[in-house]
Structure 1
């Protein structure tokens, strides 16, 4: 049972490599049932190698594997293909229309996924999947109750308990890397003598004694790489502001947005704030699951139909648990680097943060009836049951200035390395300096 108001350890032991995060979050999240998520092969004895292998540490080996296209069927897709390190670990590949695709194209060059690929940045800070309670912070408790339900896990439906389990799925997914089975993936590793020697150096000479042991080592080393600081930098303009290193923030539109975001006049922080105050390692998600009435992506549906592919209504958490109360519920994503990782929502239906804000506002504002991207009324929810109107209808109507401020606040959450990708937005928000 997860209790997000009880002190304990948030992360399995391997995730402690992200500097400073474990210490700062232990009083916020707890996983008392799942325990640690140790890597299967990580305790094997380290072999004495006659020469230094190409990749002598878990992290170095994991980085090599994260970028290795040979681990896909057609040898043209790696983890980094859909989680580009230069694009906040999201998929920024363009479709035929010249826009970033709503879903990712698979290794076969034809198949399309069913969900927008989430950023891998800050993913290592997600608690393991469980159910429990979360005491929300900075909300009016007369109108907003503490959360009870599913929490954490990887993928938007939480089906992977932790990051190591998640790391293994894309290799075997027919619309992703499309390998036949774990044995086929291990065989590709053994084609490369440098990789073979490196695995033996890091995990021991017996690492290839079984497919299970070798594949477990593969997912362990990739998850170890994803636990490094480059995935969770905490060095955005907002971070620098709360650290007292960026006073220009106070004169920007983002300052208004920050005030609104953390106020009781909006419902943003109900689901997108984990810790009290301006915490230096805020992840901007409570890892809850909600159905917020996101419309079906009709353009994507039409495209996939033209290709002979299906795009069924996304049942979210229901596909993981089979519980009717979970039908349509999607995990709340981090807002870190959100300005870089368009399009938005689990199906990529919205292209602009401004549209996302107006979509939220339409639950309270009878004048906000038009989707600015289509010029038509907001389409019906993709899944019409279990919509969380309690949270969606909490908060005041937003003005144009309010929406601009909130968008600018989210722009201010861009890690420094990715700021050149949104420089025009930073300029518009007064966040240039």
Structure 2
């Protein structure tokens, strides 16, 4: 990890069992594959970072940093050795420098979905930001019978601990075959062995299940830390009377807050448990809003012909409930302007396109039925049943002035440390163009 955002976080040191240069080399391996790209700014940050500090979340570690469960979790979050080819950490797809989203690009799908540890596998869903995830309630059903909370787009992991245990064993992600293999990697590091004994007791490695559960608890502890949720965006500063919104941003705030001019607030609730000051801009519920399939991803990720992502209906706790087909969890809008692409499958690249996607449900203008990214009519919903038409059509259509105002306000939800990533007026992020990074070295499984 790197940049201004790291000033409040102590660097994680190198394990005594590993040479520093070897660790740095391994940290860069995920970006050293044919067809894989990172921005020049991101690549420079990685290569120029001093040894002993975090590198895009792939850091070297030392025992003194494991004094708390949170610090142990930070080390695990950054450790690529917990993946099959030792090339992918949690922070590979959830980079702190990119709003805890995946800023890597491939020549086939851009940032739409993430590249796996093997340098080949591609998933079907966009990696959501891990920021502010600690405030998501456990997966449950409310008094109205609606599903609420849980981690991932479909809520299949009820708690952060459950979520943390998923990626290491996912063949499309970190690719480890079983818990025993992960625990074996943990035991390779004497600092981990000592820290786990301190935090969980001397018998923590007596069984693989116990050790694996301990790992997920440490990861969840880190993800619940303030490092993931700073509440210091321009909007937060506005609430505290420290900064003013522009007229355009204020118009956007009013529009999103209203039920008369938009219906955004129905799902992206502004208020949190304490009121406005901890608002996450989500009600943590599930809706089908008619998102089309990402055809470009499906063409290259090995999906079977006719494959359909059923969203919530694929959650084992919900399986068989046809009324949940096509529903996905309402995401937080915090840092939304710097964590695209958008929707559960990364099908839309620009934030303004997302706003216009909602507008098309309310407008009869022919121009509003055109996807600005393709110049063609909006693609059909991947799952045509269960679309939340009542919510999508209950407010009037928006003109360009109001669309732009909403986009402007959404940018104010960006944490202070990510404001330098905000797009320019032309929609392009303030970073140099992505540059290819390649290597003749192919990582091998141990």
Return the TM-score normalized by structure 2. Answer: 0.78
State how 1:283-298 maps to structure 2 within 5 Å: 283-298=280-295
Query: Secondary structure of 2:142's partner?
Result: strand
CA distance in 2, matches of 1:278, 1:260: 18
TM-superposed CA distance for 1:304, in Å, is: 2.6
CA distance in 1, matches of 2:306, 2:112: 12
Alignment of 1:91 with 2:65, yes or no, is: no
State how 1:206-285 maps to structure 2 within 5 Å: 206-247=203-244, 249=245, 251-264=246-259, 265-273=261-269, 275=271, 279-285=276-282
Q: Is the 8 A contact 2:293 2:345 kept in 1?
A: yes
CA distance in 1, matches of 2:229, 2:200: 26
CA distance in 1, matches of 2:422, 2:247: 16
Distance 1:311 1:240, change over 3 A: farther
Equivalent of 1:68, from 49, 58, 79?
79
Match of 2:307 in 1: 312
Q: Is the 8 A contact 2:271 2:277 kept in 1?
A: no
Q: Is the 8 A contact 1:203 1:217 kept in 2?
A: yes
Q: Say what the alpha-carbon RMSD is for the aligned residues.
A: 2.0
Match of 1:365 in 2: 363
State how 1:59-208 maps to structure 2 within 5 Å: 59-96=70-107, 100-133=110-143, 148-208=145-205
CA distance in 2, matches of 1:304, 1:334: 27
Q: Is the 8 A contact 1:272 1:284 kept in 2?
A: yes
Structure 1: give runs of 5+ residues left out of the alignment: 1-50, 134-146, 429-433
Count of paired positions: 360
TM-superposed CA distance for 1:275, in Å, is: 2.4
Where has structure 1 moved over 3 Å in runs of 4 or more? Answer: 51-54, 308-311, 425-428
Match of 2:53 in 1: none
CA distance in 1, matches of 2:278, 2:145: 24
CA distance in 1, matches of 2:305, 2:339: 24
CA distance in 2, matches of 1:351, 1:156: 18
TM-superposed CA distance for 1:366, in Å, is: 1.5
Q: Is the 8 A contact 2:169 2:178 kept in 1?
A: yes
Q: Is the 8 A contact 1:114 1:311 kept in 2?
A: no
Distance 1:62 1:426, change over 3 A: farther
